[in-house]
Amino acid sequence: MSSHDSMVRNAEDALARLAAVIESRKAANGGDPEKSYVARLLHKGPDAFLKKIGEEATEVVMAAKDADHGGDPNKIIYEVADLWFHSMIALAHYGLTPAQVVAELERREGTSGIEEKALRKAQAREAQE
């Protein structure tokens, strides 16, 4: 196994472990909003974690802009980690998994972004007809 393959497997394993922890914080699995940040966000409902996703996305943009002007590019990693984490809470709430997101990215691999967008537009037009 190449070092790249090992790194990919480690990333997938880390996402799966984090997803399992998030899943365990759901009320149905005994998650306590008094003891867990994730359980608290899930208890408050979509508005709470969706707001956090918006905030974190903005912080990613700000960190990238700062990096363009001499700031530390490693701050982008920190902010993207926060964005991914809160996005994973949304995935869990809607019964979805990081593996499904990875599968979608793999499906798109090798497809031009321009082609992908054109295909989605064509599918939307067909659905309206």
CA distance 96 to 82: 18
Identify the burial level of 36 via C-beta atoms within 10 angstroms of its C-beta, where 0-12 means exposed, 13-18 middle and 19 or more buried: middle
Q: What is the pTM of this model?
A: 0.82
Domain boundaries, the chain: 3-96, 99-128
| CATH architecture assignment, domain 3-96 | Orthogonal Bundle (1.10)
Q: Is residue 4's pLDDT more than 80?
A: no
7-21, 23-37, 52-66, 104-118 — which is least confidently predicted?
Answer: 104-118
Mean pLDDT score across all residues of the chain: 92
129 has a pLDDT exceeding 90: no
pLDDT of residue 119: 80
pLDDT tens figures, 47-67: 999 999 999 999 999 999 999
